[in-house]
Amino acid sequence: MKRALLGLAATVIAAAGSALVAAPAQAAPLTPVPQLEVTRYVGDWYQLAANPAPYNIDCVRDTTANYTLLDERNVRVENSCTTITGERRGIVGNARVNDTASLHVSFPGVPFQDSLDGPSNYIVTYLADDYSWALVGDPSRVSGFVLSRSPVVDDAAWQQIRTVVEGAGYNSCLMLTSPTTEGLQEIRPLCTV
């Protein structure tokens, strides 16, 4: 078991290094959706896939986000996951709406992310009409997250997700799936789903 976990960690670390080149150098900055109704966007989201990042390298299952509206410009952000050791860990922060679907997410005590104000680092670049799933990331595509209201999606939805991810300029082979207890059970490149 320990060897399998170390192997998984090595795979994720290698992918994290590759994620720095997740988008073509000539790709235009990530663009936001034309309209975001924050009151519909708040609530629970399950991470179905993401570009690997150092801050969530130990998250191996059931990565979630809960957004709660504080006022017209601020949303409470609570991210949590099950770690490689089986424990739940989380962090609470703030998302400040800069412009329609562009937000600045901050977390107290996290270097370079502890200021409530700042440039947009959370762009909602795709949002299903029914707000059932979304693709979000930063303008340069170093980060990227597929979020869903449900921890389970069918094969047709996975194909749509991959198409949207690639259409937004992400490399779907560098974005990894995020296992959920009820859904996909393994970490693998999105391009293989």
Q: What pLDDT, on a 0 to 100 scale, did the predictor assign at position 15?
A: 43
The CATH superfamily assigned to 2-192 is Calycin beta-barrel core domain (2.40.128.20)
Angle at 128 between CA 65 and CA 40, to 5 degrees: 55
pTM as predicted? 0.86
Q: What pLDDT, on a 0 to 100 scale, did the predictor assign at position 102?
A: 96
Task: Provide block-wise average pLDDT over 10 residues at a time, the chain (193 residues).
Answer: 38 41 64 96 98 89 98 96 96 95 94 89 97 97 97 97 97 97 95 96
Q: What pLDDT, on a 0 to 100 scale, did the predictor assign at position 180?
A: 97
SS (H, E, C) 46-65: EEEEECCCHHHCCEEEEEEE
Please give the structure tokens belonging to residue 177: 């799936």
